[in-house]
Every structure is written in structure tokens, then in C-alpha cells.
């Protein structure tokens, strides 16, 4: 095998790259390997941004270096001339090179290696292993995702989507995220949680593709419902069962707190003692109760029938979402009838809230669609936002989320050679 072929394999570059010279240089505290390269002369110059053919403009600012994979314990760089071209669309820009992305200081293989590692290992491990700054990792992730999105339409084939928001920083900083229920991937994210933010997604989607969306799962936020109704004329909004049951749990807890406050105002220590320590027994699912909590719940049933009825109403609503179709809707009707006449104020308020969102709740019961997928996605995104602390740009944070949950993570460089 010729030396040039060996070096191309080692560096992860293609045949369009000509190996000119390999040398060692002293870079302060350590030696580095510098591989001088150039493009094949048969390759016509192209714009580094858009890739269009463009005439050469000048020689640029001289030779540039791109970080490549380390060779054993020694850092390695590619070095080449960086001429500029005159592009009709982009103006005067550096010409495209076959071994690196535009405006990058690292090779394709190095970028992809970092993008793969950042989703598999800890921040400190990655930084120390590759000897790069964490802000550099953010820039690399942004480039890799932008490159992948340019070659694949992330909005193609959307039919069933989920919409939610997630906090990514203190001070009420939120991301609005959209997932595809069919491919189970994150398709879009942007900072903010209001109508204007979500409208950006549907503007990118376009009216033709928005018309193909059939089902949208979300919580009962008005800003989501308003934007979906405006842009997705053929879509059915499905209320997330988890959030509906959470409403019932909040209503039950409000009943418990009200009885506690009333007992303190009346100076009835015996009443306080009877319901003391029952909070977790009331809020937990029956199948998860400990033996002590079962006893506490039985005590509530004996001494406070109003609080126990509120508990039964909460459990009855939870059971509604374990059914599907007509059986679930019939059970919901029965629950509404009971809640409407129970004379427990927080539960009656819950009844009116459910009545307001009845159409989207019935859609969820009929189609079996929930935000379970997007909640699991949000759990992973919370971990990624902690990893991304130190990124200078929210765009790089979003790129990291898209890299891991959007299907844009590249394969580990060189592994396909073993197939």
C-alpha cells in the first residue's frame, strides 16, 4: 500500500485530498504532526458556504491548519492553502475544501468524533481526552447538526406531533420543543414559550405540510391550542392525560389543605391529628402505597368523608385514562356527573376546567395519544442542558439536543471500515 493511501486512511480524508508532506514541528510544550495537503488539481473551486462553482478570487490569508485525530499521543494538523473565491450568491469567501466544513478549524472526522462522544460521555472526560475547550465543543455540535439538517428535511412526513416546553435556565428561560410521535425524534426546538415562538415552527413547516398533520398532543396551555387551531386546520388537539390527572391531584391537595386550615382556625387539635401525615397516602397511586400509608388512608375514610370523596374522585378520573374509546368517554361522563354535584369546591372547579377542554380530552381517549414521549424526551433534554452549561449560544444548546434526540448524531468515524 502506498504511503499516501495509508495517510488518507489514518486521517480519515478521501481521494480528493492529496498528501504533500508529513513533518514534526515543535509547538511550544509538545511536538505536533503537520500533514501538508491540497486538493486534486482536477477539482474546480467551489464556494465554501453554498458549494456552488465559483471563480478564484485571490490566495486568501495564507496557509491554514485544521485539527485532525491525534496520532497516538501526538496532536495532528492538516495544513493547506486557503484561497478565496468570488461566489455570485455569497460574495468573497474561502473556497471549499474536501476535508473540513466551512469556517471550521477541525476536519470532518474530528468534528464527527466530537459529536459522537458528546452524547456518550461526560463533559470533563471529553475536554481532557481531546484537549479542546468546552465552547469549541458547542461550535462543533452546531456545525454537525447544521450540516445534517441541510441534507435532510426534518419536517418531512409529520403526521402526529407533540408540543411542550422545558426550562433550560434559571429566570424563567424556556425552550419550546416539538417531537414526532411516529419516528420518536425531536424535530424542532426554540427559546421561548408563547404564541410567537410556536408560530416560528409552523412558518418553517409551511401551510402545505401543516395541513397534513392529523394529531397534536399537548398540555392544556391556551397559547398552544390557539396556534395549532390557526395553522393546523385538519389537526385534532389531544390533551395530555398526565396533566389532566395532575389537575385532579392539585384539587385533592387543595381540599386537604383547606380542611387543615379550617381545623386550625376552629382550634380543633383532634381533627388536625386525624388528618396529619395523610398527604402522601392521598396523592400516591393506590398500587404504590406502603402498609403505613394504607392505614393512614383508611383513617381518612373513617374520620373525613369529604376529603375521602375528593380522593375517590381523583382516582376515578385517573382510571378514566386507563380505558380507550367509547368505554372511556362513558366513564368520563359518569365522573363529570359525580364531580358536578359533589359540592366540594376545588373538585367542582376541576369539573368546569375539564368541561372547557372536553373536546381535546375525548380526542386523547379516542386516539390514545399522550405527551409521554415528549416528557421522556424532556427528561433527557434536562440532562443535556446541564451538560451544555458554558455554551455561549442557545443555538449550540439546541444543536446538542437535536444531535442526541433528533437523529443527527453521526456514526463513530472509521467504524464502517470494519463492516
Using CA atoms, how far apart are residues 174 and 85, in angstroms rounded to an integer?
41
What is the per-residue pLDDT for 401? 87
First to last CA, the chain: 20
Nine cell digits for residue 53: 462553482
Q: Output the pLDDT for position 274.
A: 63
CA atoms within 13 A on the CB side of 274: 18
358/244 Cα distance (integer angstroms) = 11
Residue 269 has a pLDDT of: 64
pLDDT digits (tens, 9 = 90+) for 55-70: 999 988 889 999 999 9
d(CA 145, CA 397): 11
Diameter over CA atoms, the chain: 94
- pLDDT at position 284 is 87
58 bridge partner residues: 84
Q: What is residue 151's predicted lDDT score, i.e. its pLDDT?
A: 80
Q: Would you state the pLDDT for residue 392? A: 65
Q: How much is the pLDDT for 105?
A: 93
Other C-beta atoms closer than 10 Å to the C-beta of 267 total 8
**pLDDT, tens digit, for every residue of 9-60?**
888 888 889 999 999 988 777 889 999 999 998 889 999 998 899 999 998 8
Which parts of the chain have pLDDT scores under 70? 1-2, 171, 266-276, 388-392, 416-419
The angle formed by the CA atoms of residues 100, 103 and 104, to the nearest 5 degrees, is 50
Q: What is the dihedral of CA 61, 62, 65, 66, to 10 degrees?
A: 60
β-partners of residue 71 are: 74
For residue 390, the model assigns a pLDDT of 62
Amino acid at each position: 500500500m502506498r504511503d499516501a493511501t495509508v495517510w488518507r486512511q489514518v486521517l480519515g480524508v478521501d481521494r480528493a485530498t492529496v498528501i504533500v508532506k508529513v513533518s514534526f514541528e515543535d509547538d511550544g510544550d509538545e511536538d505536533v504532526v503537520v500533514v501538508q495537503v491540497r486538493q486534486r488539481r482536477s477539482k474546480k473551486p467551489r464556494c465554501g458556504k453554498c458549494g456552488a462553482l465559483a471563480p478564484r478570487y485571490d490566495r486568501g490569508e495564507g496557509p491554514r491548519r485544521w485539527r485532525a485525530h491525534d496520532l497516538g499521543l501526538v496532536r495532528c494538523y492538516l495544513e493547506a492553502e486557503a484561497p478565496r473565491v468570488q461566489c455570485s450568491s455569497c460574495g468573497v469567501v474561502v473556497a471549499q475544501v474536501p476535508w473540513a466544513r466551512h469556517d471550521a478549524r477541525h476536519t470532518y472526522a474530528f468534528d464527527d468524533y466530537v459529536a459522537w462522544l458528546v452524547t456518550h460521555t461526560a463533559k470533563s472526560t471529553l475536554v481532557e481526552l481531546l484537549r479542546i475547550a468546552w465552547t469549541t465543543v458547542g461550535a462543533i455540535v452546531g456545525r454537525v447538526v447544521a450540516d445534517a439538517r441541510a441534507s435532510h428535511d426534518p419536517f418531512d412526513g409529520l403526521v402526529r406531533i407533540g408540543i411542550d416546553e422545558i426550562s433550560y435556565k434559571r429566570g424563567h428561560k424556556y425552550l419550546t420543543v416539538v417531537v414526532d410521535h411516529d419516528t420518536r425524534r425531536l424535530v424542532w426546538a426554540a427559546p421561548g414559550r408563547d404564541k410567537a415562538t410556536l408560530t416560528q415552527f409552523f412558518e418553517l413547516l409551511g401551510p402545505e405540510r401543516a395541513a397534513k398533520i392529523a394529531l397534536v398532543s399537548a398540555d392544556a396551555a391556551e397559547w398552544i391550542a390557539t396556534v395549532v387551531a390557526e395553522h393546523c386546520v385538519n389537526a385534532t388537539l389531544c390533551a395530555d392525560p398526565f396533566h389532566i390527572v395532575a389537575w385532579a391531584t392539585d384539587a385533592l391537595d387543595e381540599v386537604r389543605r383547606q380542611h387543615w386550615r379550617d381545623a386550625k382556625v376552629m382550634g380543633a387539635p383532634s381533627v388536625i391529628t386525624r388528618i396529619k401525615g395523610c398527604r402522601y397516602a392521598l396523592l400516591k397511586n393506590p398500587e404504590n402505597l406502603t402498609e403505613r400509608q394504607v392505614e393512614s388512608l383508611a383513617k381518612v375514610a373513617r374520620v373525613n368523608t369529604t376529603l375521602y370523596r375528593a380522593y375517590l374522585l381523583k382516582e376515578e378520573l385517573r382510571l378514566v385514562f386507563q380505558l380507550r374509546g367509547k368505554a372511556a368517554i362513558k366513564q368520563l361522563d359518569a365522573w363529570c356527573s359525580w364531580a358536578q354535584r359533589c359540592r366540594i369546591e376545588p373538585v367542582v372547579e376541576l369539573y368546569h376546567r375539564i368541561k372547557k377542554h372536553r373536546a381535546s380530552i375525548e380526542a386523547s381517549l379516542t386516539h390514545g395519544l399522550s405527551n409521554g414521549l415528549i416528557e421522556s424526551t424532556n427528561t433527557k433534554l434536562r440532562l443535556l442542558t446541564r451538560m451544555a452549561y458554558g455554551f455561549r449560544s442557545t443555538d449550540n444548546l439546541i444543536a446538542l439536543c437535536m444531535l442526541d434526540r433528533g437523529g443527527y448524531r453521526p456514526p463513530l468515524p472509521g467504524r464502517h471500515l470494519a463492516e
